[in-house]
Amino acid sequence: MADVVRETSIEKVQLPKGETWSVHKFGGTCVGSSDRLRNVAEIIQDDDSERKLVVVSAMSKVTDMMYDLIDKAQSRDDSYIAALDAVLEKHRLTALDLLQVDDLAKFLSRLHHDIDNLKAMLHAIYIAGHATESFTDFVVGHGELWSAQILASLVRKNGTDCNWMDAREVLIVSPAGSNHVDPDYLESEKRLEKWFSQNPSRTIIATGFIASTPQNIPTTLKRDGSDFSAAIMGALFRARQVTIWTDVDGVYSADPRKVSEAVVLKTLSYQEAWEMSYFGANVLHPRTIIPVMQYEIPIVIRNIFNLSAPGTMICRSSVNELEEGQRLESSVKGFATIDHLALVNVEGTGMAGVPGTASAIFAAVKDVGANVIMISQASSEHSVCFAVPEKEVGAVAKALESRFRQALDAGRLSQVAVIPNCSILAAVGQKMASTPGVSATLFNALAKANINVRAIAQGCSEYNITLVVKREDCVRALRAVHSRFYLSRTTIAMGIIGPGLIGSTLLDQLRDQAAVLKEKFKIDLRVMGITGTKTMLLSDTSIDLTKWRELQKEKGEVADLEEFVRNVHGNHFIPNTVLVDCTSDSIIASHYCNWLRRGIHLITPNKKANSGPLDQYLRLRALQRKSYAHYFYEATVGAGLPIISTLQGLLETGDKILLIEGIFSGTLSYIFNNFIGTRAFSEVVVEAKEAGYTEPDPRDDLSGTDVARKVIILARESGLKLELSDIPVQSLVPELLRGCASAEEYLQQLPQYDHDMSKKRQDAEDQGEVLRYVGVVDVANKKGTVELGRYKKDHPFAQLSGSDNIIAFTTERYKQQPLIVRGPGAGAQVTAGGIFSDILRLASYLGAPS
């Protein structure tokens, strides 16, 4: 009985129902110690609902201890007495820790009284050597009686008006088969009204798990009983919400131990929760959902150890709601697996059109008590295939062989085959019912991961698609399908080739921006590999960019381009792959076609592919147009400046390019902007190199080759079919230094030629002119030139500073005044930034929100 009985106007109190009530359920771990009970009391007090009903389980392990008492007593093991003392001690110590004088005395007296009773009952069991079900139910239910009383006293101690409820006085249930009971709602409601009229409190702490039969015999609600108690109470009170407190953040889209990408679902419909729980997801047992479902009361699953997590709400329908971070079209809510299964395949021509075959098969299965988990039969009716737990398959096969002996001997049935080591993979989601293509996507993901499907079942409710796969493929299958539905389609596996000046700056920019991209634009960039000429660093998930340099030193392997690409692209769980070539190597460029053919996107600042042999270039561009793999190379001209995209924009919108001219070299721009008579030419060259403007070998800049490559790239982009050798180039590398073995040697010897360059500069200056290294694409005349020219000091080319590039497009539309792009055209940050914006362009082509 409740320990606080109100004297006032007992008979007049009506049971208030509806929105005012909020129901909470705390499982054993939530009330497993004094500290946890304090925490629970706080949560109850923090809920500002007008009325609260709190269902509690026994303190953790207590129910097991109680069952153990029965086992011991039944098997005449004296140690049940000591075990009962341990139960007493656990509750006594908790009460001493939490309760104060009067409440403590009252509770301890009740506890000792209960323990004495139990001792007597267990003694009777000990003598009889047997415990009836009702005896057992009576004994084990004490854990809830004690936890509810302790918690009620604690809440009251904290100043909240509160009664505890022995649910056996209220909840009436009838047995419904083994391990099931059916609540009697009418009778329970009547009793609840009576109980409430005697205990009209705003906060009630009720025992979970226990109830009474219609004959008032104590019983339990069986497995997951406390959740069921909470759901029934929620229904009886027509509560606004039932919160089930557990130790997980909610219901996950897949088992997070198997799928690291699994996310907590914000909402699930009752049906989805139902399906997920069947497949072993850590959700409520289906029967606990039924009571609240009829009144459309939401159930929220929350983590008591992580109050900041909002949990998962199970409610009427989540069909129209969009999950945050989930793809709009994501129609599958969750994936689950069941292991240790075997398939049984009964096959034969004699089955088709013979009524009763299925019934005979499943009758034989039933006779051996096996549980059929999935059934599939094609309409040709030549075979029936079903899954049973592996441990039951031997008996099932034997029963079928014996039942169909005659048909097997006569050849009407060809076989009863057992396929062991199977697992079920189920996809669950209410929206699947109305979304074409879900199963196509599912099977496509499995096919890509090279997983064979042994059997398939989908009911016409379409809430789940069940597949049978080989046991050893199961986790891989789960990950493959989960990533297909759950990873944003702009999740991109990246491989960075060449972590030199530009590559490493890009990696640092990616590191700094990754979180923003993921959060704001749903772009999830994962660097799966970084390779130089000697060392490569690989990862299965993604490299931690805050310490990629250290990791490269610690975990770097010998570089192997094929293996590198296989690692970055071979990951079946990430929908897209991009390789970013930050080398200046033509051998790397020679792989582009092959990579595009494999569906790998490419981004590069390396000019070698677009300025290399014409036939190779044309093949690459043709392949790019044919394939769905993208190839972006903005940083090959003008670094981060929008040169390529501007030109492509003009061409794609139908403008006609007449002339492109300008200063295309950041290095040469810097050199001639700063070679003003104050320093030697060679000194300024070294400055340009140190500033990161030059090519890995600065002779590529000084020779004019780098500018010629850019001229070729723009010329080809404009439709001219030119080779690099078609461009006359005026080299600034003295003849004798062209054969130097290294860039260092060249730079060392360069000062010998300073005088020649000083003279050129002075001659120009004497005429009021400056030296500028200029490239021209003369589209009208189908040619290109690269030369050192002299310009008047008021010419736009003379107005530049730093590493500025200036590029003027004269076109049909921009004929009077050219379209001019100007700004720093070399340097690590601007170049890496240009590559980065190509990566984001790729993401937006792949569907990232703008």
- Work out what residue 643 binds among ligand LTNE7NMQ, Na ion, ligand NDP, none; the CB cut-off runs from 5 to 8 Å by kind: Na ion
For residue 433, the 8-state DSSP code is G
Q: Does 532 bind ligand NDP (CB under 6 A)?
A: yes
- Work out what residue 665 binds among Na ion, ligand LTNE7NMQ, ligand NDP, none; the CB cut-off runs from 5 to 8 Å by kind: ligand LTNE7NMQ
If the CB atoms of residues 262 and 644 are measured against ligand NDP, the closer one turns out to be 644
* Binding to ligand NDP in span 454-513, by CB under 6 A: 497-503
Number of other residues whose CB lies within 10 A of the CB of residue 850:
4
If the CB atoms of residues 68 and 700 are measured against ligand NDP, the closer one turns out to be 700
728 φ/ψ angles, rounded to the nearest 5 degrees: -70, 130
- Work out what residue 667 binds among ligand LTNE7NMQ, Na ion, ligand NDP, none; the CB cut-off runs from 5 to 8 Å by kind: ligand LTNE7NMQ
If the CB atoms of residues 205 and 641 are measured against Na ion, the closer one turns out to be 641
DSSP characters for 68-101?
Answer: HHHHHHHTT-TTHHHHHHHHHHHHHHHHHHH--H
* Binding to ligand NDP in span 657-676, by CB under 6 A: 666
Q: Does 638 bind Na ion (CB under 5 A)?
A: yes
Within 8 A by CB and 6+ apart from 184, the residues are 172, 173, 174, 214
Q: Which residues, listed in sequence order, are joined to residue 427 by a DSSP beta bridge?
A: 335, 465
Among 135, 333, 827, 839, contact with ligand NDP (rule: CB under 6 A):
827
CA torsion through residues 811, 620, 847, 543, sign = negative
> CB of 638: closest distance to Na ion in angstroms?
4
Q: Does 499 bind ligand LTNE7NMQ (CB under 6 A)?
A: no
If the CB atoms of residues 389 and 500 are measured against ligand NDP, the closer one turns out to be 500
Measured distance CA(99)–CA(104) in Å, rounded: 5
522 is catalytic: no
Please name the residue that has the structure tokens 């459309």. Answer: 296
Q: Does 269 bind ligand LTNE7NMQ (CB under 6 A)?
A: no
Measured distance CA(188)–CA(15) in Å, rounded: 13
* Binding to ligand LTNE7NMQ in span 787-826, by CB under 6 A: 825-826
Q: Does 826 bind Na ion (CB under 5 A)?
A: no
Instruction: Extract the tokens encoding 664.
Output: 């295309």
Among 400, 641, 713, 732, contact with Na ion (rule: CB under 5 A):
641
Q: What is the largest CA-CA distance in the chain?
A: 123
CA torsion through residues 208, 214, 215, 220, sign = negative
Rg over CA atoms, the chain? 38
Number of other residues whose CB lies within 10 A of the CB of residue 216:
10
> CB of 831: closest distance to ligand LTNE7NMQ in angstroms?
6
End-to-end Cα spacing for the chain: 63
Q: Does 696 bind ligand NDP (CB under 6 A)?
A: yes
If the CB atoms of residues 344 and 688 are measured against ligand NDP, the closer one turns out to be 688
> CB of 476: closest distance to ligand LTNE7NMQ in angstroms?
43
DSSP characters for 342-391?
Answer: EEEEEE-GGGTT-TTHHHHHHHHHHHTTPPP-EEEE-TT-SEEEEEEEHH
> Of the residues 72, 266, 689, 710, which is catalytic?
710
Per-residue binding letters, 645-684, with ligand LTNE7NMQ (x by CB under 6 A): --------------------xxx-----------------
Q: Does 254 bind ligand LTNE7NMQ (CB under 6 A)?
A: no
Per DSSP (E only), the strands in 490-566 are 491-497, 524-531, 535-538, 557-558
Please write down the HEC assignment for all residues of 698-744: CHHHHCCHHHHHHHHHHHHHCCCCCCHHHCCECCCCCHHHCCCCCHH
Among 166, 634, 695, 838, contact with ligand NDP (rule: CB under 6 A):
695
- Work out what residue 501 binds among ligand NDP, Na ion, ligand LTNE7NMQ, none; the CB cut-off runs from 5 to 8 Å by kind: ligand NDP
Number of residues that bind Na ion (CB under 5 A): 4
Name all contacts of 543-552 with Cβ < 8 Å and 24+ positions apart: 545/507, 545/508, 545/510, 545/511, 545/514, 546/511, 548/499, 548/507, 548/511, 549/504, 552/499
Q: In this chain, which residue has its C-beta nearest to ligand LTNE7NMQ?
A: 667
* Binding to ligand LTNE7NMQ in span 682-711, by CB under 6 A: 693-695, 701, 706
For residue 159, the 8-state DSSP code is T
> CB of 321: closest distance to ligand NDP in angstroms?
46
If the CB atoms of residues 466 and 665 are measured against ligand LTNE7NMQ, the closer one turns out to be 665
> CB of 571: closest distance to Na ion in angstroms?
30
Where helices occur in 99-184 by DSSP H, the ranges are 101-128, 133-140, 142-157
> CB of 457: closest distance to ligand NDP in angstroms?
49
CA 178, 179, 182 angle in degrees (round to 5)? Answer: 95
For residue 304, the 8-state DSSP code is T
Q: Which stretch binds ligand NDP (CB under 6 A): 183-191, 444-452, 624-632, 690-698?
A: 690-698
* Binding to ligand NDP in span 604-633, by CB under 6 A: 605-607
Measured distance CA(473)–CA(466) in Å, rounded: 15
- Work out what residue 502 binds among ligand NDP, ligand LTNE7NMQ, Na ion, none; the CB cut-off runs from 5 to 8 Å by kind: ligand NDP
If the CB atoms of residues 147 and 665 are measured against ligand LTNE7NMQ, the closer one turns out to be 665
Measured distance CA(616)–CA(4) in Å, rounded: 90
Please write down the HEC assignment for all residues of 585-654: CHHHHCCHHHHHHCCCEEECCCCHHHHCCHHHHHHHHHHHHHCCCCEECHHHCCCCCCCHHHHHHHHHCC
- Work out what residue 701 binds among ligand NDP, ligand LTNE7NMQ, Na ion, none; the CB cut-off runs from 5 to 8 Å by kind: ligand LTNE7NMQ
* Binding to ligand LTNE7NMQ in span 382-441, by CB under 6 A: none
Q: Which one, of 840, 489, 842, 833, lies nearest residue 631 by Cα?
A: 842
> CB of 773: closest distance to ligand LTNE7NMQ in angstroms?
10
Measured distance CA(229)–CA(220) in Å, rounded: 10
279 φ/ψ angles, rounded to the nearest 5 degrees: -85, 20
If the CB atoms of residues 331 and 694 are measured against ligand NDP, the closer one turns out to be 694
If the CB atoms of residues 376 and 667 are measured against ligand LTNE7NMQ, the closer one turns out to be 667
Among 236, 600, 643, 658, contact with Na ion (rule: CB under 5 A):
643
- Work out what residue 641 binds among Na ion, ligand LTNE7NMQ, ligand NDP, none; the CB cut-off runs from 5 to 8 Å by kind: Na ion
**Residues labelled as active-site residues:** 710
Which residues would be at the binding site for ligand LTNE7NMQ (CB under 6 A)? 639, 665-667, 693-695, 701, 706, 825-826
Which residues would be at the binding site for Na ion (CB under 5 A)? 634, 638, 641, 643
Which residues would be at the binding site for ligand NDP (CB under 6 A)? 497-503, 531-534, 582-585, 587-588, 605-607, 635, 639, 666, 692-693, 695-696, 826-827, 831
